[in-house]
Amino acid sequence: MIAALLLLIPFLTALLLVTMRPTQARPIALVASLASLAVVLFAWISYTGGTVIHYDYDWVNAWGLRFVVGYDGVGLLMVILTAVVFPFIIGAGYGQPEDRPALFNGLLLFTQSFLYLVFLAQNALLFYIGYELTLIPVFFLLLFWGGADRRAITVRFFIYTLVGGLSLLFGIVYLLIQSGGNGDFTALANLSIPTSTQLWLFWALFLAFAIKLPIFPFHSWQPETYYMAPIQGTMVLGAVMLKMGLYGVYKLVFPIVPAGVEHWQTTVIVLALIGAVYGGVIAFRQSDFKRLVAFSSLSHVGVLCAGLFAWNTYGISGSFYQAFAHAILVLGMLYLVGAMQERTGTTDMGAMGGLKGHAPRLAALFLLVLVNAVALPLTQSFVGEWLMFAGLWQVNGWLTLFALTTIVIGAIYMLYAYQRVMLGPDRANVTLQDAGMRDHLYLVPLIAVTLILGVYPGPILELVDAPVQQLLSSLSVH
Amino acid sequence: MRRCNNSFQAYRYTEMSVLVLLSVLGVVLLYLGLFNNRGAIAGVGIAGLLAAFVLVAADWHLESPLFNGIIQFDTYARSFSLVMIVVTVLLFLFGIDYYAKVKENVAEQYALMVFSLIGGLLICSFTNLVVLFLGIEILSIPLYILAGGKRDSFRSGEAAFKYFLQGSFASGFLLMGLALIYGATASFDLAAIEAFSTALVGGQDMIFLLGLFLTIAGVAFKVAAVPFHFWSPDVYEGAPTLITAFMSTVVKTAAFAAFYRLIANLQLPGAVETMLVVMTICTLFLGNIVALRQTQFKRLMAYSSIAHTGFLLLAFLGTDARTPEVLFYYLGTYAMATVGLFIVLTLAKRAALGDENIRIFRGLFQSNPWIAVATLLMLLSLAGIPLTAGFVAKYRVFVISLTQGYLWTTVVAVVMAIVGIYYYILVVREAFTAQEQESKPIVVAPLNWLVISICGAAVVVLGVMPGLLRM
């Protein structure tokens, strides 16, 4: 019932919005996303551990496609993440100019529905179908509402992601044949694939997620796409879509090609960290606020991926914990980008400056969002980063040191950004509106979540801990 | 229903009754042309085709050899026949609007398509190589005329001439090949040739080998496999759009059905296997890469058709019991998407006063949102994006080729599938980009709207429930 509600509430609402084009599209979408949040919270409360399977139907059984949906702790965390993020994404539209709102919000809800499918799927092909389907609504979000040069960038984004997607499909088909046509994750995890095969199969599977995240050197689509996309589109990409990459690694790579992971672990960590440092350095050089957020996301994702590939309890739990924190952070930062754009008409930080004098409350909110970005203790990011670095430490001390520099770089570019926007001489020369009711309604809950989970990470870590332990112990048996 | 017994021979020839029905239908259509009543022509044509559909479908599993065992309408033949008939019906429905402004010779167009369809039915049911040759000729000769259907158009004439010349050449190949096979095996009967090839395993027979090479070349011409594809872009572009659609759906389906029927149970010598692999890789490569450079939609569809030939050939490699079903599904769903897209093209071309650049799709979403969505679905299906039929089709092909151990060929195919997505998505992008300056809006007649909707819905429904379309 829960799975059906999750998949159908956004999907049917989206269908309604797209076909009927009601005038009150945004409130309808908001209500639908809140309804699905309520369902998810109910699922969370009633979750008692283990893997819950909600539906198990044969779809095209002869070809390995079965409709199996359910979740373990990590899957549930991802579902919670999706459910929490979407009301905010839709709500962010209230500050934006309204252009065909029914279509826009319909596409957003389609995305949400397909994301649920990805995180609920317990069959590799079903996962793949959801994974590719999420691209379609996002493609149109970018094509219709993107900024300059959107036609070229959208196609590049689409093709880039599909390169990974088809490589993933190839890997899945290969696995299906090995397993005799059974595509369930449980069956695939029980395969024993020769190590020599695992070495290349790892890349066939991982390439999709490496591009989706993205990690260095598969990242070249990301900054331009994030920059060009409408703010809400960037939120979808940064807050949830890239988490499919993390989740995919956890679900499709770790249990199925462990020997491959073992072999490539260091390579991936090094690549991810290069991306993290590189993203941070470039972010520092940006004068555009939105570009800065794009590159900072690239930097954060590098660390996320490195933590995940530490491949121990700390690393994996930390990575997923941080994934949640990063989603909240992306929402906050991008909302601020939107708020600035609304007030000053630009996202260029060079044109801002001294805003604090005009808008002290906005500056305060900005600072509170920012402390999460620099992983200050008592924020959610601190917990996540600490866990990841602890995990990395068990792998390699030097690499950890390298990774730690991203924190320093992160602090530098974030505080520098704050300085350029809020402090210094007043360059805006406009009478700014301070943060109003809407901004508080939006940002205060985000900040609250950050701080609460920063002090009390238990509920989320509990979700992640058991399945990660189980995964790691099952691997050591092999 | 009365079942046929030996005592009542005539009733066993239900399949023959389809051939008779269609032949009569063609002649009737020609006579109707005398009265120049266009509505009646298409109506009668569609009614006749539906009757043929019922005749084929009614005796679904009857497997009786006909005419001293040179034709056998088994499940395989019937399934492909049904697809071809359905697609022809859709094209006739389209034809009502397409030929609305044509003054004369409309009846001939319909009649020739029906005659060509008869050839298609013959070559997917042959058990004797003579029927294969006859069928291919019956299929092709009306097409030579149809390709030149626009009498005032230089390009149309060029298309007809090119198609005729190269087609005759291919027929020559085919005939030579059949003669050589006969020389080696002393039989035209497919079963006897299969037995010969089984007995030959391990040994060598140059005449047989050469015969197979030439025969396959002749058939490969019809499916436009590289290097026998040269006719297809020019002919696709020059021929009237309706005929292009007919060629890339009905004719392609028939040719593939014949191709597989020919080699399904043959023990192919190693050299022929290699030839097929090389042909597959070249077709995949050339079709997709050249399609990247196309800006004219019909040429794009021609190269995309070549690319799809590559994917279909991929399912031929090795001997997998699932191949016929995959071919059937692939061709059926490919035909649906293609028919719909050619109709959309015709409408957009009309609005753009004859231009065929993919840019003419601009503004489609603004003016006709539903048609744009249907176009999107059909293009996604051709590209092979999940939940459309095209995805299921490609996926099944990959499963077969990987099961058969063609790892690297499959890798090539996967890479080419990505390339394929690129040129389809460019068309999607055009359809969903707003028009800059005002131009004639794209007008969709109700019947065309219906056919496009059927095609668009079909690729999704068949993609979600692939079980609906099986042999």
Q: Which residue of A has its CA nearest to B466?
A: A60
CA terminus-to-terminus distance, chain B: 23
Q: Which residue of A has its CA nearest to B430?
A: A151
CB–CB contact B432 A144 (8 Å): yes
Mean pLDDT, residues A286-314 taken together:
92
Residue B8's pLDDT is 44
Q: Is residue B200 part of a domain?
A: no
CA distance B174 to chain A (A): 37
CB–CB contact B395 A177 (8 Å): no
Which tokens is A132 given?
């590719």
Query: Measured between CB atoms, which of B396, B414, B429 is closest to A63?
Result: B396
DSSP summary character for residue B9: G
Report how far residue B292's alpha carbon sits from residue A361's, in angstroms, rounded to the nearest whole number: 53
Report how far residue A215's alpha carbon sits from residue A303's, in angstroms, rounded to the nearest whole number: 9
pLDDT averaged over every residue in chain A: 90
Report how far residue B154's alpha carbon sits from residue B102's, in angstroms, rounded to the nearest whole number: 17
Report how far residue B374's alpha carbon sits from residue B104's, in angstroms, rounded to the nearest whole number: 32
Which of A11, A17, A60, A134 should be substituted to probe chain B, the one whose Cβ sees the most B Cβ atoms within 10 Å? A60
Query: Measured between CB atoms, which of A125, A154, A174 is closest to B402?
Result: A174
Number of domains in chain B: 1
Which of A125, A177, A182 should be substituted to probe chain B, the one whose Cβ sees the most B Cβ atoms within 10 Å? A177
CB–CB contact A162 B418 (8 Å): yes
E strands present in B2-121: 65-66, 71-72
Report how far residue B232's alpha carbon sits from residue B224's, in angstroms, rounded to the nearest whole number: 7
Which tokens is A265 given?
């672990």
CB B98 within 8 A of CB B241: yes
CB–CB contact B392 A60 (8 Å): yes
pLDDT band at residue A348 under the 50/70/90 scheme: confident
DSSP summary character for residue B17: H
Residue B151's pLDDT is 82
SS3 B65: strand
Report how far residue B5's alpha carbon sits from residue B3's, in angstroms, rounded to the nearest whole number: 7
Query: Measured between CB atoms, which of B385, B466, B467 is closest to A132?
Result: B385
H helices of B99-148, in order, are: 106-123, 129-147
CB–CB contact A173 B425 (8 Å): no
Q: Name the strand (E) or helix (H) holding B77.
A: helix B75-98
Q: What are phi and psi of B439, to 5 degrees?
A: -145, -175
Residue B106's pLDDT is 86
Q: Is residue B345 part of a domain?
A: yes
Which of B418, B430, B460 should be substituted to probe chain A, the one whose Cβ sees the most A Cβ atoms within 10 Å? B418
Mean pLDDT, residues A325-338 taken together:
93
Query: Measured between CB atoms, which of B386, B415, B421 is closest to A129?
Result: B386
Report how far residue A302's alpha carbon sits from residue B222's, in angstroms, rounded to the nearest whole number: 52
Q: Is residue B246 part of a domain?
A: no
CA distance A440 to chain B (A): 37
Which tokens is B431 given?
């359809």
Q: Which residues contact A459 (CB under 8 A, 6 or more apart)?
A: A453
CB B122 within 8 A of CB B137: no
Unique residue bearing structure tokens 């290969």: A174
Q: Is residue B299 part of a domain?
A: yes
CA terminus-to-terminus distance, chain A: 36
What residues pair up with A288 in beta bridges, in sequence order?
A348
CA distance B169 to chain A (A): 39
Report how far residue A266's alpha carbon sits from residue B464's, in angstroms, rounded to the nearest whole number: 41
Q: Is residue B195 part of a domain?
A: no
pLDDT > 90 fraction of chain A, expressed in percent and rounded: 64
Which tokens is B447 given?
């019947």
Contact list, A174 vs chain B (CB under 8 Å): 402
Q: Is residue B120 part of a domain?
A: no
Domain ranges, ordered by start, for chain A: 1-256, 257-478
pLDDT in tens, A210-245: 999 899 899 999 999 999 999 999 999 999 999 999
Residue A267's pLDDT is 94
CA distance B403 to chain A (A): 6
Residues of B within an 8 Å Cβ radius of A: 380, 385-387, 391-392, 395-396, 398-399, 402-403, 410-411, 414-415, 417-418, 421-422, 425-426, 429, 432-433, 466-467
CB–CB contact A176 B380 (8 Å): no
pLDDT in tens, A85-95: 999 999 998 87
The dihedral sign for the CA sequence A427, A428, A433, A434: negative
Q: Is residue B156 part of a domain?
A: no
Report how far residue B426's alpha carbon sits from residue B420's, in angstroms, rounded to the nearest whole number: 10
The one-letter amino acid code at B231 reads W
pTM of the full structure: 0.93
pLDDT in tens, A364-413: 999 999 888 888 888 888 999 999 999 999 998 999 999 999 989 999 99
Query: Measured between CB atoms, which of B380, B411, B421 is closest to A159?
Result: B421
CB A236 within 8 A of CB A141: yes
CB B243 within 8 A of CB B149: yes
CB–CB contact A170 B403 (8 Å): no
Q: Is residue B416 part of a domain?
A: yes
Report how far residue B103's alpha carbon sits from residue B97's, in angstroms, rounded to the nearest whole number: 13
CB A240 within 8 A of CB A330: no
Which tokens is A155 given?
């196609």
CA distance B349 to chain A (A): 23
SS3 B126: strand
Range of the domain at B376: 268-471
Residue B278's pLDDT is 95
Residue B61's pLDDT is 57
Q: What are phi and psi of B126, to 5 degrees?
A: -70, 150
- Count Cβ neighbours within 10 Å for each residue of B214-253 and write b for 16 or more, e otherwise: bbbbbbbbbbbbbebbebbbbbbbbbbbbbbbbbbbbbbb
CB–CB contact B414 A159 (8 Å): no
Residue A429's pLDDT is 59
Cα of B392 vs its chain's centroid, Å: 19
Q: Which residue of B has its CA nearest to A161?
A: B418
Q: What is the pLDDT along chain B (471 residues), one digit of tens a residue?
A: 344 444 444 445 555 788 889 999 999 999 888 887 777 888 999 999 999 999 888 876 566 677 777 888 888 998 999 999 999 999 999 998 888 877 778 889 999 999 999 999 999 999 999 999 999 999 999 999 999 988 888 889 999 999 999 999 999 999 999 999 999 999 999 999 999 999 988 888 899 999 999 999 999 999 999 899 999 999 999 999 999 999 999 999 999 999 999 998 888 888 999 999 999 999 999 999 999 999 999 999 999 999 999 999 999 888 888 999 999 999 999 999 999 999 999 999 988 888 888 888 988 898 889 999 999 999 999 999 998 999 999 999 999 999 999 999 999 999 999 999 999 999 999 999 887 776 777 888 899 999 999 999 999 999 999 888 888
